[in-house]
Amino acid sequence: MRELENVLPQALVQAREGAITADLIRFHAPQDTVSSPSPAEDEDTLLTLEEVEARHIQKVLWHTGGHKGNTCQILGISRPALDRKTKKYGLQV
């Protein structure tokens, strides 16, 4: 139950149109059986940190409907930091 409580908020951030689908709910294997993801499982394997950051910010902006205050709260950054990053990456708000 505790793991479900941790997984659902993460799935909600990634959900499109407010719907959580089965592919968004990922449970972690017990620690003794954890293995590295294969390239097929991890689409972001070859992205730079900046690409990952830009995609994540865009995803959170989309999820919040472009509400910068909520986006900042989810990302844990200030409004000026969000403005700098959206400008740097050319993201749509």
Residues of the chain with pLDDT under 70: 1-10, 12-18, 26-44
> Mind listing the pLDDT tens digit for each residue in 47-66?
999 999 999 999 999 999 99
Distance CA 3, CA 32 (A): 16
Q: Fill in the amino acid letter for 42.
A: D
Direct distance between the N- and C-terminal alpha carbons of the chain, in angstroms, rounded to an integer: 35
Token digits for 34? Answer: 């954890």
DSSP state of 34: -
Q: Please state the pTM of the whole predicted model.
A: 0.55
- The number of residues making up the chain comes to 93
Picking from 52, 47, 82, the residue whose alpha carbon sits closest to that of residue 64 is 82
